[in-house]
Structure 1
Amino acid sequence: MGGTSEAYALAEKFAEKDYPVLSSLAGRTSHPKIPAGRYRIGGFGGIDGLINTIKKENIGLIVDATHPFAETMTDHAWRAARAEKIDYIRFERPLWQAGKEDKWLTVNNIEEAVAAVPANSRCFLAIGRQHVNEFLVRKDVSFVARMVEQPENFVPEANIEIVLGKPENEKEEYDFLVNHHFDCLVCRNSGGSASFPKLEAARKLGLPVIMITRKPLPDVVILSAEKDVIDVVRTFCQADRAEKHKETNG
C-alpha cells in the first residue's frame, strides 16, 4: 500500500529481488509516479473490495506504507488483514519532535486545529487538499493553502488563496513564509525529511506552528526502518517459496 517516497523506495528494492509484490496507489493525483514492479491504481471499494483483492491476488502479507494520515486506508487494510488472517505491518516515518526554539501547539485533529488558529491572523495551511474546506468557517482568518493540484469540490472563498507547487529547500520555504507575511502555520506531523524544511523556516522566523498529531493505531506491528521492512518481506517470501516447493514436490 504505497504512494509515499518510502513505498517507492521499497518497490525498487523488492523488484530487484524479484519478490512477488503488488504496489497499490490511491490515484489521488492526475499523473501519479509509477512504482517498480507490478502495481494497481485506484480505491478498493471499502473493506469488502480490499478483501476481494486479497483473495484474487492471493495476498499473504500487507505492508502498509501509505501516508501517516491516510487513516481510512490504514484502518481498512488492518481490518481486511485480520478478516483474512494474513500478516500486516505498518511502515511509518518517525514523528517530528519539537526543538527548544520551536513554538508548536499540538492538537489531536482538524477540528482542534481550526479552533486553534489565532483570531484575525494570516495562516499557512500545509495540510494537503482534503481538509481545506474545513477551515473556511474561520472568516476572520486569511488563509493560504499550498498543494500539488487544485482541491476537488473546493468553493472559492474570499479568505483563502490556493497556491500550487512546492518549494524545494529551506531557503525557498523561508522566502515563501516571509513573502506571504504569515502569523502562523498549520501542518500534520507526517515525519520524514521532504516536508521538514517548512518547519525549519518557521523556527527561524519564530512562527507558531499548530501541529496535528497522529491518531494512535490499533495493536499492529509498526516499523520505521526500511531495512526492517525488507527483512520481514524477505523472510515471508522465503517461507512462501519453501511452502510452494514442498507442495510441488509432495
Structure 2
Amino acid sequence: MKRLVIVGGTGDALQLAKRAILLQRGFANDLPGLEVITTLAGRTREPKEIAGSVRIGGFGGEAGLIDYLQTEKIDLIVDATHPFAAQISWHVASAATKVEIPRLMLVRPAWTRSPEDNWIEVESIEAAVAAIPASAERIFVTIGRQQLAPFAKLTDLWCLMRSIDPPDPSIPLPPGKLLLDRGPFSLELERELLKEYGIQAIVSKNSGGDATYAKIIAARELGLPVVMVRRPIVPEGEIVADVAGAIEWLRQQL
C-alpha cells in the first residue's frame, strides 16, 4: 500500500482525491494499493466534502512537513495548492527532495490576455493598489479575504469585495461592501453584478481555471480595465494542468 498526500486548497485537489478514490475502489481497480490523504491549511471555515482521509492544519514550515512525511511514511506527494500559495509550494518541493519521494505539481493554466482585454498587469497586491486607474471610483476587488488591508487606504474609492469567508475583524477594510460567496460564477450573474454596483475597474489575481473566469469575460464585454496580479514564481518540477494528467502520473508511480 502506497500513501499519497495531496496538498490541497483548490477544486482540482478535491477532484483528484475523488477520482483517485473511485479508481482505487472501482471494478477496474485502476489505482490498486493507494491510500489517499488530503491536507488543508484550515483557512476556509466550511471546506467542501473531500474523499478519502483529511488532515486540517498547517505543518509548521518545511521542518514540520518533513517530519510529517517521515512519520506518516508518505510515498507520493501532489502539490495542488492555489497558484498564489507559493510558500507552501516551495516547502513541498524542498521537503520532497530531502525525504526523497516523487512530487507532482497540479497547476491550472493561467488566464491569457486577449486583444479585447484591458489588463494592467502587476507583480503584487501593493502594486495593484497603486495601479488602479485614476478615473475609477467604484472597484470590484476579488483577491480573497487575506490581502484586503492594503486597500484600506483607498478612502476616496468604493470597493465591492468578494470572498468565501469574512476577513479577520482586525483587518482594516476600505469603504464599500463585502459579499460572501463561492464560485463558480456564471457570466450572466457577473455581468449583472458589475452593472448593479456601477463597477468601473476590477482587481484580480490570475488564478486561472473556470470558476471565476466569468468576471474577466464580463469586464471585457463592458470595456472595464482589470488590474491583474501575476502569479508568483514556483519551484521547478514535473507539472500537469489537470486531474487527468495527475491520475496518469499516479498510474506511473504504482
TM-score (norm 1): 0.89
Q: How does 1:126-165 map to 2 (within 5 A)?
A: 126-155=142-171, 157=173, 159-165=175-181
The question of whether the paired residues in 2 share the 8 Å contact of 1:122 and 1:141 is answered with yes
Distance 1:178 1:140 in 2: 20
The alignment status of 1:202 with 2:219, answered yes or no, reads yes
The sequence identity of aligned pairs, in percent, is 39
Q: Deviations over 1:154-182 (max 9, x none)?
A: 44556242122247311111111111111
Match of 2:106 in 1: 91
Q: How does 1:211-226 map to 2 (within 5 A)?
A: 211-226=228-243
CA-CA distance at 1:81 after TM superposition: 1.1
SS of the residue aligned with 2:199? coil
Distance 1:156 1:228 in 2: 41
Q: 1:158 to 1:53 in 2, by over 3 A?
A: closer
Q: 1:52 to 1:153 in 2, by over 3 A?
A: farther
Q: Structure 1 stretches of 5 or more lacking a match?
A: 239-250
SS of the residue aligned with 1:113? helix
Poorly superposed stretches of 4+, deviation over 3 Å:
153-158
Distance 1:220 1:34 in 2: 29
Match for residue 83 of structure 2 among 68, 76, 99: 68
CA-CA distance at 1:72 after TM superposition: 1.7
Q: 1:151 to 1:10 in 2, by over 3 A?
A: same
Which segment is superposed worse, 88-97 or 9-18? Answer: 9-18
Distance 2:158 2:182 in 1: 20
Distance 2:19 2:11 in 1: 13
Match of 1:6 in 2: 12
Q: Structure 2 stretches of 5 or more lacking a match?
A: 1-6, 25-33
Which segment is superposed worse, 188-197 or 110-119? Answer: 110-119
SS of the residue aligned with 1:17? helix
Match of 2:132 in 1: 117
Match of 2:29 in 1: none
The question of whether the paired residues in 2 share the 8 Å contact of 1:133 and 1:154 is answered with no
Q: 1:46 to 1:87 in 2, by over 3 A?
A: same
The question of whether the paired residues in 2 share the 8 Å contact of 1:136 and 1:160 is answered with no
The question of whether the paired residues in 2 share the 8 Å contact of 1:103 and 1:203 is answered with yes
Distance 1:121 1:147 in 2: 21
Which segment is superposed worse, 115-124 or 105-114? Answer: 115-124
Match for residue 104 of structure 1 among 116, 119, 123: 119
CA-CA distance at 1:47 after TM superposition: 1.1
Matching residue's letter, 1:87: P
SS of the residue aligned with 2:105? strand
Match of 1:28 in 2: 43
Matching residue's letter, 1:75: W
CA-CA distance at 1:139 after TM superposition: 2.5
The question of whether the paired residues in 1 share the 8 Å contact of 2:86 and 2:234 is answered with no
Count of aligned pairs: 237
Higher relative contact order (CA 8 A, sep 6+): 2
Distance 1:99 1:232 in 2: 32
Distance 1:93 1:8 in 2: 13
TM-score (norm 2): 0.88
SS of the residue aligned with 2:146? coil
The question of whether the paired residues in 2 share the 8 Å contact of 1:62 and 1:87 is answered with yes
Distance 1:68 1:204 in 2: 26
Distance 1:215 1:158 in 2: 25
The question of whether the paired residues in 1 share the 8 Å contact of 2:154 and 2:174 is answered with no
The alignment status of 1:235 with 2:252, answered yes or no, reads yes
